[in-house]
Each structure stands twice: as structure tokens, then as C-alpha cells.
Amino acid sequence: MMTPSSRPGGPEAIKAARTTWRRSQIVESAARLMEEHGFHDMSVSALAREAGISVGTVYQYVDNKEDVLLLVIEDILKAYAQQVPQAMSGIADPLERLAAGFLSYCGVVDSYQTATLLAYRESRSLSRSGLHSVISHEIETTGLLVAELDAAVAAGTLRTHDTALVGSDLVFLAHMWALKRWQLRDRMTVEAYGRAQLGLVLGGLIDAKQRERYAHLLAVPGAASAPARAAARTRAGGGRR
Amino acid sequence: MMTPSSRPGGPEAIKAARTTWRRSQIVESAARLMEEHGFHDMSVSALAREAGISVGTVYQYVDNKEDVLLLVIEDILKAYAQQVPQAMSGIADPLERLAAGFLSYCGVVDSYQTATLLAYRESRSLSRSGLHSVISHEIETTGLLVAELDAAVAAGTLRTHDTALVGSDLVFLAHMWALKRWQLRDRMTVEAYGRAQLGLVLGGLIDAKQRERYAHLLAVPGAASAPARAAARTRAGGGRR
DNA sequence: AGTTCGAATGAACGGTCGTTCACCGGAGGC
DNA sequence: GCCTCCGGTGAACGACCGTTCATTCGAACT
């Protein structure tokens, strides 16, 4: 015997659906406004107007203005946490796992450029716990890449190196796609970008005897200099390298 | 016959000296406060208090609040413009010039960490002309490094590559010292950091036949694997790699 | 039709801010 | 001593903001 509150579509479900709906209205509108104006020059009344709701309604669904910022950034943290491990799963080779994880990371940065920028720009406006959340997620994701770097070093695929620094470099270079988009966006696709950076970093690390095996990750002239270059250009869809 | 206004130490000189003095009081105090609070959460009254002057005096020497931000950032732009070319001068080899320029750039970032951070965080609060100034200076300095990369490629020292992207990478990795200082600062000195990043980037670019000649720039195991590693550790003064 | 409840509203509130300007004090000149 | 000028001061001003809450509206129930 189902009670009224446990029926599918009952009041709780309606309320939860409304909360989810209103929150996404608020978050999407906030992302648009913050992309243009930043956190500080976005007023809550402008946000309400953009979302098509009243100021009081905003406060029914978020605690305060900083909460809005946090919700926008949490979207990207969730995407990292989901998409990066997923891209790496089912792949046995550490270097291939690294490549898949890094390219996926770049893809998330591309899809959430505003959130990436906000995480850098507005870290001062986050609460302690909000900032801690951002940082610990980054450490966690960096750790996934570092683990593969370590495995590749142990397998002799990569030369010995400071893998923690390399992992941080990769994450930072992924962020560069958003932070320096004024410089990069008109020059290449995010996929070409990710492959170029991966090739550059790995090119300095890879054991000489492994270059041919991973030539598809290096994307720099190697033994098959001319063909690899022509192939890379085709893949980038005309992006200049 | 010198007129009163042209005498050394005349009223204009006194006024100019006072302006310079007051401005530096304001800029130094602002840098301190913005490091902790950011631009938005620093009030002009707090700035006046920190500088030990009145609010009205602040406005005698700066036009408005944004002007303060611009003055802080202009300090670092001036330092780049002066120190990077200077570090590169008198060196004939393109790769050595590149190394000197990049390490100098890292040094400037280290000395002006607040300004580096502010340039990223507060670009939204700059006027059009202020932002244009920041961006064009960055393009200019990146261009110095790119020119050396191009020269090294032409000399056959480096393999063919997208030198514009590599130049941007180097500049961005220099900024990383400030942006990710929470991760890096306790692990290595800025010099060790600069050398590690330079070695990583160049390691992926350098022609195999040139590795031995530039082993001091690569700082990765090469032909003299064990000695190079021991030397690098000594140079870093205990920094872990 | 009347009542109740929940969601939405937007004016009001209290606070903070960037900027201005009337006033003051000190130094220099006569 | 008196006057003028310049630099400094900080309260006042006007604007804007984040947040709250008294009120209204609409839907559902009796």
C-alpha cells in the first residue's frame, strides 16, 4: 500500500523536480552573465531578470550569491569526475590511458569554458569549503594522470621524471585552452590543441626506443616525418600547426 | 640665468617627487591588500588606511579605483619589458637566448606574483585600454621567445614545430609559478622550476644530434644519465624533482 | 464558494562603496 | 602679523547592492 508521499510523482518528486529546474535556470543564466561581467559585476537582480524569475525566487533555491558561483563551478567538477575516468577506462596501456584522460580533460574544459575561467578568477569569492572543494578535485584529477605517468615510467615507456610536476603541467595546459582562448581559439580545434600539447610533453619524456610505437601520440616529426605531419593536419581540419 | 622653475629641485621637481612617492605608497599598499582580498574586496578606504593617508589624498594621485589596479599591473609589465630583453642580450645562440629569456621571465613572475595573479583574476575590471596594454605586452614578450624558437628551428637545433604555440606554452608555464604556487612553492625554487619546465619543453623539440650539446638546458637524463641527474639535484639546492 | 497552502513577487531595508568637496593647517612671501 | 597657496582631510553624497519579508496569486481541497 503506497502512501501518498511515496507515490511516483508525489509532492516530494514535484518539489524536487521544481528545485532542479529552478536551479538549472539560475545556474545557466548566471554562467551567461558571469562570462560577460564576472561574478562581482553581476547583480542578483540582473540574474533574476536573465532567468525570468523574481529576486525572491532566486533565494528560494540558493542560499546566497556565492552559492550561485559555487553551483556553476560544481558543474565542471562533476564533469571532470565523470568523464575523465570514463575516458580512461577499458584501456590497458598507461600511456594510452594518460592520453585518453588528458584529451577528455581538454574536452571538459572546452565544454565548460566559463566555469574554468571563473575557478581561476573568482577563487577569492569562494568560501573556504568551496575553494577546498575546487582544489581537492583538481588534486584528484591530476592524480589520475600522475598515476599513469608513474606506471609508464615503471614500464620503461617514459624516462624517469618528476611526474607530479608533469601531471600538474598537463592539467594546467588543459586549462590554458580556456584561459588563453583569445589566442588559441581561432587557430585550432580543442582536439588538435590537446594532441599538440600531449605530443609536446610526451616528446620530451618518451624513451627513444618507444617513439615509433607511440608516434600517434607524439604528433611531432619522428621517423615517419612527412606522413605524420600530413596526417596531423588532416585530422585538425585545417588548423595550423 | 636660470628661471625659478627650471632650477634643480624647483617646485615642479618637488611636485614630481611627491607624486612618485605617493603613487608608490598607494601601489605597494594596494598590492598587499589585493593579494589578500582581491580587487573587489579591497575598498579605497582600506587602501588609504593601509597607506597611511586619507581617502581624498588617494584621489589626488590616482584617477579612480581601477587606476590603482592598472598601476600595480603596469609594474610587472615594465619589469618584463626591461629584464627579459636584458637577460637575452649578449648571447649569440638562439637556444641559449631562449633559455635566458624564459628564466628571466620566471624570475619576474616570482618577484611580482601578486601582479601576475591580478592580471588573470581582474582582467574584467580593467578598462579596454588597460586590458589591451596587458595583452599586447604579453604578445610582445611571447614574440621574443618565438623569434628564438624560430631561429633554433632554422638552425636545425630544434625540430620543426608550431613555435607560436610553444612560445605561448612557455609564457603560460612561467605564469603557472604564480597561479599554482599553492602546489609548487614548497617543492622547488623558482630557478629549479624554470629549468625543469624548460627542459621538459625543449626535450620534446630538440634534434637528437643536439642533445649532448644542450644537455645543461635539458636537465633530463640523456647520454650521461646518472651524472646529469646528480648535477641537477645539486643545482636545485635540494628541490625534489 | 470559501479556505488553505505553497510558490512567487518586488519594495523595503540596512549596509557598503567610490568619489567629491568644504574646510583646515602649514609653509612661504610680503 | 597678515595673506595666499597648496596639500591633506574625512564627512557627506548618491548610487548600488544582497537579502528579507509582507503580500499576492494560483491551485487544490472541501
Statement: residue B97 has pLDDT above 70: yes
Statement: residue B146 has pLDDT above 90: yes
A205 close to A148: Cβ distance less than 8 angstroms: no
**How far, in whole angstroms, is CA B44 from its chain's centroid?**
27
Instruction: Using pLDDT thresholds of 50, 70 and 90, give the confidence band for residue B9.
Output: low
Q: How far is CA B176 from CA A208, B142, B170, B192, B236, in A?
A: 29, 15, 10, 14, 18
Q: Does domain B65-235 have CATH number 1.10.10.10?
A: no
Distance CA A123, CA A121 (A): 6
As a whole number, the mean pLDDT across chain B is 86
List where CATH 1.10.357.10 sits in chain B.
Answer: 65-235
For residue B1, the model assigns a pLDDT of: 38
pLDDT digits (tens, 9 = 90+) for A32-70: 999 999 999 999 999 999 999 999 999 999 999 999 999
* A60 CB contact with strand C at below 7 Å: yes
Distance CA A138, CA A149 (A): 17
Outline where chain A has alpha helix (H): 11-37, 44-51, 55-61, 65-88, 94-111, 113-121, 128-154, 163-179, 181-184, 190-203, 215-218, 225-235
- In percent, the amount of chain B with pLDDT more than 90 equals 69
pLDDT digits (tens, 9 = 90+) for A25-37: 999 999 999 999 9
For residue B231, the model assigns a pLDDT of: 41
- Mean pLDDT of the B114-125 span: 92
pLDDT digits (tens, 9 = 90+) for B55-88: 999 999 999 999 999 999 999 999 999 999 999 9
For A54: left if phi > 0, alpha if psi spans -120 to 50, otherwise beta; the answer is beta
Give the three cell numbers for residue B237. 639546492
List where CATH 1.10.10.60 sits in chain A.
Answer: 1-62
Collect all residues of chain B within an 8 Å Cβ-Cβ radius of residue A124. Answer: 37-38, 40-41, 121
The predicted complex's ipTM stands at 0.85
- Mean pLDDT of the A112-127 span: 92
Q: Which nucleotide is nearest to A40 (CA to C1')?
A: D17
Whether A205 contacts chain B with CB within 8 A: yes
Distance CA A93, CA A99 (A): 10
Statement: residue B111 has pLDDT above 50: yes
- Mean pLDDT of the A174-180 span: 96
Q: Does domain B1-62 have CATH number 1.10.10.60?
A: yes
B22 close to B53: Cβ distance less than 8 angstroms: yes
Of A121, A184, A203, the CB nearest to B121: A121
- Total H helices, total E strands in chain B: 12, 0
